[in-house]
Amino acid sequence: MNNGTNDNSYKKIYNDLQIYETALHNANDIIILFSSDGNILKVNKKAINSYGYNEEELLSKNIFDLRNREKLELVNTQLEKAKLGEIEFETIHYRKDGSSFPVEVKSIGIEINNERFVLSIVIDITNRIKNEEEIRELASLYEELIAIEEELRINYQELEKAKEEADKANKAKSEFLANMSHEIRTPMNGIIGVIDLLKLTKLNNNQKDYLDMLSHSSRLLLGILNSVLDISKIESGKFQLNIKPFNLKKILDRIIKELSIACNSKKLEIFYYIDSYINFDLIGDEIRLNQVLINLINNAIKFTVKGQIVFRVKKLYSTNNKLILEFSVQDTGIGIKEEFKNDIFKKFVQQDMTYTKKYDGTGLGLAISRDIAKLMNGDIWFDSIENKGSIFYFTAEFLLDYTKDTHDENLGLSDKEMARNKTKKILIVEDNEINMKIACEIVNRLGYKFQCAYNGKQALQLLKEGPFDLILMDIQMPELNGYDTTKIIRKDEIGTQKHINIIAMTAYSMNGDRETCIEMGMDDYISKPFDINTLKNVIMKFI
């Protein structure tokens, strides 16, 4: 019975041990049992798979075969320590083929029947080490990034500081230049004034020539000073428009007069087209508008040897109180090379250094003009073909000036004057529908009676039908033009006491047109587009 009980309990122990051994044998980590001098006594499946030996071979090895032999002393110490208690460390284990892998070892000393053994659990930490290395690499990369960021931050701060200082220096330079140019301008004006006075005195031919040269150079110098003054004002942020009411017609008249003179002296043809319906009473900076137009026109003349200059003024857009105009200046000059097109608006830049000898100028005009155009809510741009010519466009916005009320019913005339005007009759001869409408509207508002003829023949017919006090006569008309019509009228007047006043209405004209009109028997002329006051004044001069 007793025996039977003992048998059963042995069996149970044996069974338990078998379960235990199976578990150890199949464990996920390497498990090795060493004798006290390091010989391998027992290994599990994982150990056999990990070291590349078969079980028999592995059981003939000892701890030193798994470790680096050079570390004999260390291995011995670790073995001794493990025998007496337990020890944990990381090391390298070697396979049969000489390759190695990192491991974490947990060894514990055990005693069975008074004999000491060491049981080691060995964990392959290849992946952990790899992960740790990757993490370390990432960490160092991160540190490098932080360092770069810091360096960039410092650089940026330094750059900001340098930029601030450069801006300050630049502003100081611009202010200095502005002050200098301003200071020099005053005596320059004195010099130019004295030159003009000297010209009025009695001079011999040599002296006259010298004085002309002096005059030319000092005006050139004044021009340069003005440009430098403008550009420095723009750069130091002190450039402002001087906005006030002005009359565009007056500016255009003056510009075209100057353009005509300059073109005549270079034997260039000029053409100009001005939209009929432009309101001339505007609010804006007339000086700066004039400056941009003169610059574009001067360039066109300067860079054109033969051919023509065309000046156009177009109404682009208008609202109740605003007007946007597009001015354009076209030439048949040297044009602009492709490679220079991007630089043309840069300061102090001219197309070709040889041109600077041939053509005077500073290379500032277009830079200033573009800034002015921007201040006027407009722009400047161009099209150009080398050796064919260029066209520069300039747009600007203006306010309409309603204080000049051209819709005043009586146009400043007293009732008496209006009553008198009603007794006078005017013949308007004009083939262009729009121009005719404008002329009729004005004449009507001035109180005169009027009739319209669309060519010379019609005019002569109407003259036969009844008397007129004055004729407003267009020059270019089909059938019979203004000159020929006038000639016929004057011929008919020969031998009579009659002389009807004829006022020519010409398109903007070349120099000498006035003389031609008078020669052809006309009494006066006005140029289109005319404003209401000009027409009123010229009519009132004669009736």
Per CB under 6 A, residues contacting ligand ADP are 295, 299-300, 303, 331, 333-336, 344, 350-351, 355, 361-367, 390
Q: Which is nearer to ligand ADP, 109 or 335 (CB)?
A: 335
Q: Assess contact for 369 and 394: CB atoms under 8 A.
A: yes
Compute the least distance from the CB of residue 335 to ligand ADP, in Å.
6
In the three-class reduction of DSSP (H, G, I as helix; E, B as strand; rest coil), residue 104 is classed as: strand
**Whether residue 529 has a cis bond before it, omega within 30° of 0:** yes
221: closest CA among 354, 349, 348, 361?
361
325: closest CA among 352, 363, 289, 367?
289
Q: Which is nearer to ligand ADP, 134 or 343 (CB)?
A: 343
Compute the least distance from the CB of residue 398 to ligand ADP, in Å.
23
Please give the Cα distance from 345 to 361 (Å, whole number): 14
Q: Which is nearer to ligand ADP, 14 or 348 (CB)?
A: 348
Q: Which is nearer to ligand ADP, 117 or 355 (CB)?
A: 355
Q: Assess contact for 426 and 539: CB atoms under 8 A.
A: yes
Q: In whole angstroms, how far apart are CA 103 and each of 120, 270, 488?
A: 11, 98, 125
Compute the least distance from the CB of residue 354 to ligand ADP, in Å.
11
Chain position carrying tokens 């200095």:
176
Q: Which is nearer to ligand ADP, 234 or 336 (CB)?
A: 336
Q: Which is nearer to ligand ADP, 230 or 331 (CB)?
A: 331
Which strands form 425-429's sheet, in the order they lie side by side?
449-453, 425-429, 470-474, 501-506, 524-527
Q: Which residue spans within 114-216 are E strands per DSSP?
A: 115-124
Please give the Cα distance from 272 to 328 (Å, whole number): 10
Compute the least distance from the CB of residue 309 to ligand ADP, in Å.
9
Please give the Cα distance from 356 to 365 (Å, whole number): 14
- Give the residue at shortest CB distance from ligand ADP: 361
Please give the Cα distance from 106 to 85 (Å, whole number): 11
Q: Assess contact for 392 and 299: CB atoms under 8 A.
A: yes
Q: Which is nearer to ligand ADP, 38 or 365 (CB)?
A: 365
Compute the least distance from the CB of residue 445 to ligand ADP, in Å.
42
Q: In whole angstroms, how far apart are CA 540 and each of 446, 448, 468, 535, 543?
A: 10, 11, 15, 8, 5
Compute the least distance from the CB of residue 334 to ligand ADP, in Å.
5
Chain position carrying tokens 């083939």:
431
Compute the least distance from the CB of residue 303 to ligand ADP, in Å.
4
Q: Which is nearer to ligand ADP, 120 or 351 (CB)?
A: 351
Compute the least distance from the CB of residue 342 to ligand ADP, in Å.
12
